[in-house]
C-alpha cells in the first residue's frame, strides 16, 4: 500500500501535518472530532505515543481511528516503553492494518510523566528503531530471522 504522506513529500509541495493526542482513558468523543476537523486540511496526522510520558490510549489504536475516519496517520513510536520484540511486533501489526507512516522517537524520561515509579525500557533509540524498520523492509527481524511477508513504511526519526 502506498503512503499518501510519502506521495505528498515526493511531490515537492509544502506538506502540512498536525498532531492528535489519544485520550487518557477510553472516552473517544474528542479525538474523532479533532480528526474530522483536520483530515481535509492536513496531509497527515501524527498520533502521539504517551506524550510527555503520560499513560494514554495507545498511538496504534489512535492511528487506526485516523485511518478509519479517512485521514492519513503517522504512527509515533517511542522506544521508552517497549523492547525490540514489542516494537517490531507493533510495526508488523501496523503494516498489516495499512498504517505505513512511522515517526521514531526515543521518548521522554518517565520522570516527567504521571507514573513516577515506571521504568524506561530504551532497548533501542530512535535511530536504531529506524534501522530496525529498514531491516524489516528487507524481510528480516533484528534477530536475523526471516519474516513471512513484507512491510513497507515511510519512516523517519527524531534524533536528539
10: in domain: no
Residue 123, C-alpha cell as written in the block = 532497548
Per-residue pLDDT tens digits of the chain, which is 160 residues long:
789 999 999 999 999 999 999 999 999 999 999 999 999 999 999 999 999 999 999 999 999 999 999 999 999 999 999 999 999 999 999 999 999 999 999 999 999 999 999 999 999 999 999 999 999 999 999 999 999 999 999 999 999 8
Q: Rounded to a whole number, what is the largest CA-CA distance in the chain?
A: 46
Residue 48, C-alpha cell as written in the block = 502521539
Residue 66 and residue 72 in contact, taking contact as beta carbons nearer than 8 Å:
yes
* pTM of the complete model: 0.96
25: in domain: no
What is the per-residue pLDDT for 30? 96
- By residue count, the chain amounts to 160
Rg (CA), the chain: 15
Residue 34, C-alpha cell as written in the block = 479533532
7: in domain: no
Instruction: Report d(CA 45, CA 82) in Å as an integer.
Output: 22
Q: What are the distances in angstroms from CA 28 to CA 44, 46, 59, 61, 66?
A: 20, 17, 13, 11, 12
59: in domain: yes
End-to-end CA distance of the chain: 31
What is the per-residue pLDDT for 2? 80
44: in domain: yes
4: in domain: no
128: in domain: yes
Q: How many structural domains is the chain composed of?
A: 1
The dihedral through the CA atoms of 33, 98, 96, 89 has a sign that is negative
Residue 124 and residue 84 in contact, taking contact as beta carbons nearer than 8 Å:
yes
78: in domain: yes
* Residue 69 domain boundaries: 33-110+118-157
Amino acid at each position: 500500500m502506498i503512503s499518501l504522506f510519502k506521495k505528498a513529500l515526493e511531490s515537492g509541495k509544502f506538506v502540512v501535518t498536525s498532531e492528535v493526542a489519544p485520550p487518557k482513558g477510553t472516552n473517544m468523543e474528542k479525538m474523532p472530532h479533532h480528526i474530522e476537523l483536520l483530515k481535509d486540511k492536513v496531509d497527515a496526522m501524527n498520533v502521539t505515543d504517551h506524550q510527555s510520558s503520560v499513560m494514554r490510549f495507545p498511538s496504534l489504536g489512535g492511528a487506526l481511528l485516523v485511518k478509519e475516519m479517512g485521514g492519513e496517520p503517522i504512527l509515533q513510536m517511542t522506544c521508552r516503553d517497549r523492547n525490540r520484540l514489542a516494537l517490531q511486533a507493533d510495526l508488523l501489526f501496523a503494516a498489516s492494518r495499512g498504517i505505513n507512516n512511522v515517526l521514531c522517537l526515543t521518548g521522554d524520561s518517565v520522570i516527567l510523566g504521571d507514573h513516577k515509579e515506571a521504568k524506561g525500557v530504551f532497548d533501542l533509540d530512535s535511530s536504531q528503531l529506524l534501522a530496525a524498520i529498514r531491516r524489516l523492509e528487507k524481510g528480516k527481524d533484528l534477530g536475523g530471522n526471516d519474516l513471512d511477508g513484507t512491510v513497507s513504511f515511510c519512516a523517519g526519526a527524531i534524533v536528539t
